[in-house]
Amino acid sequence: MHYRRSRTVSLLVAVVATIGALLTAPAPAHAASASASGDGARLAAAPNFRAPFPCGQKWTYSHHSAEVRRALDFVRADGGSTAGTPVLASASGTATRMSQPSGAGNYIVIDHGGGWKTYYFHLASYSVPSGAAVSQGQQIGVTGSTGHSSGAHIHYEQLLNGVGQNIVIGGAGLPYPSQYHQSYLTSDNGCGGGGGDFRTWGSDIRVRADAYLNSPVVGVLPGPTNVTVVCQKQGSTVTAEGYTNNWWSKLRDQGGFISNIYVDHPAAQLPGVPIC
Ligand SMILES: [Zn+2]
């Protein structure tokens, strides 16, 4: 994270946002009225939702009769631990932290605009503050079993104007099996086309074997360097040059991690880069 270009970036963002607002201002009303007239119009207005868990992971899902609205419950089916796995935004929007100890537990609501929202229940912890603008594939929480839940899972919903919709991922409607291990979903969320190219700043930046300050040093970047970030994850919190950040980037060609503080981009978590 680095703010050298923040003034220019902010200006650009403001201009783009203004143009975007002008272009899209009529959309919510149109989407709302279209939804009443047909599924085709409704689907056309929906965001392109992706799986609420990391790129490449395979999960199974089910829907039970006591379930609220048109939710699906997801658990991992690839040998990894469901508990503790990052929960990802299935589309961009504005995140809000919610809590319902007797029901949904800790959960996040993302408002995607146009009347569309997604819910992510039973989080062990939140990863973004309320009001955060999140991008598709960004980590918003950690999978857990808070609230009324018999085990770690992601309870996931897509709503239009407050009404639960049949869940669509990547443009395809998911079935609603009553048991796990009948249907599966492999995530392409946050894959980011294999990472991104960035430039580092600062001098004598240590590259470490893992995302922790006590990990062995495997290399040093003597000065600003073009790097390809293959993935990123949270590790030791680093405070340097007036910034604090616990995200680290895994560098393809240097074989290790650097703190995102030294990646020349204004965001703490880099956009378009998958979670490791
Ligand atoms: Zn559920």
Dump pLDDT digits (tens) for 98-112.
999 999 999 999 999
Domain assignment present for residue 34? The answer is no
Question: Rounded distance, CA 249 to CA 196, Å?
Answer: 10
Q: How far apart are CA 62 and CA 227, in angstroms?
A: 41
Tell me: do 99 and 218 sit in the same domain. no
Q: Do 152 and 217 share a structural domain?
A: no
Q: Which of 164, 186, 208 corresponds to the end of one domain?
A: 186
Alpha-carbon distance 82 to 70, whole Å? 21
Distance 67 CA to ligand 1 centre (A): 6
Q: Report the separation in Å between the CA atom of 73 and the middle of ligand 1, taken as the mean of its atom positions.
A: 5
**Are 146 and 164 within one domain?**
yes
At 198-218, the pLDDT tens digits run 889 999 999 999 999 999 999
Among 186, 205, 239, which residue terminates a domain?
A: 186
Output the CA 151–ligand 1 centroid distance in Å: 11
Residue 164 domain flag: yes
- 75 CA to centre of ligand 1 in angstroms: 11
CA of 72 to the centre of ligand 1 (A): 6
Strands 86-88 and 123-126: unpaired
DSSP 225: -
Q: What is the CATH number of the domain that holds 229?
A: 2.30.30
Q: Is residue 8 part of a domain?
A: no
Query: What are the pLDDT digits (tens) for 52-107?
Result: 999 889 999 999 887 879 999 999 999 999 999 999 999 989 999 999 999 999 99
* Confidence band for 266, pLDDT divided at 50, 70 and 90: confident
Q: Which pLDDT score is estimated for 164?
A: 96
Residues 85 and 124 in one domain: yes
Q: What protein residues have CB closer than 5 angstroms to ion ligand 1?
A: 71, 73, 155
* DSSP state at residue 270: P
Please give the helix or strand (H or E) that residue 24 lies within, else none: helix 6-24
Question: What is the per-residue pLDDT for 195?
Answer: 62
Pairing of strands 72-76, 154-160: antiparallel
User: Do 265 and 2 meet the contact criterion of CB atoms below 8 Å apart?
Assistant: yes
What is the model's pLDDT at position 43? 47
| pLDDT, tens digit (0-9, with 9 covering 90-100), for 127-143 | 999 999 888 888 999 99
Distance CA(92)–CA(84), nearest Å, equals 22
57 Cα–ligand 1 center, Å: 20
Query: Of all residues in the chain, what percent are helix, strand and coil, respectively (each to 5)?
Result: 15, 40, 45
126 vs 106: CA distance, rounded Å: 8
- What is the domain count for the chain? 2
Is 149 in the same domain as 77? yes
CATH of the domain at 103: 2.70.70.10
The pLDDT value recorded for residue 276 is 86
CA distance 250 to 231: 5
- Give the Å distance between the CA of 254 and the centre of ligand 1: 42
257 & 154 share domain: no
Question: Is the Cβ–Cβ distance between 71 and 164 less than 8 Å?
Answer: yes
Please give the helix or strand (H or E) that residue 7 lies within, else none.
Answer: helix 6-24
CB atoms within 10 A of CB 65: 5
> Is there a single domain that holds both residue 148 and residue 234?
no
Same domain flag for 179 and 201:
no
Residue 144 lies in a domain: yes
Which of 186, 220, 239 is at the close of a domain?
186
Residues 217 and 163 in one domain: no
| Domain that residue 175 falls in | 58-186
* Interval between CA 87 and ligand 1 midpoint (Å): 15
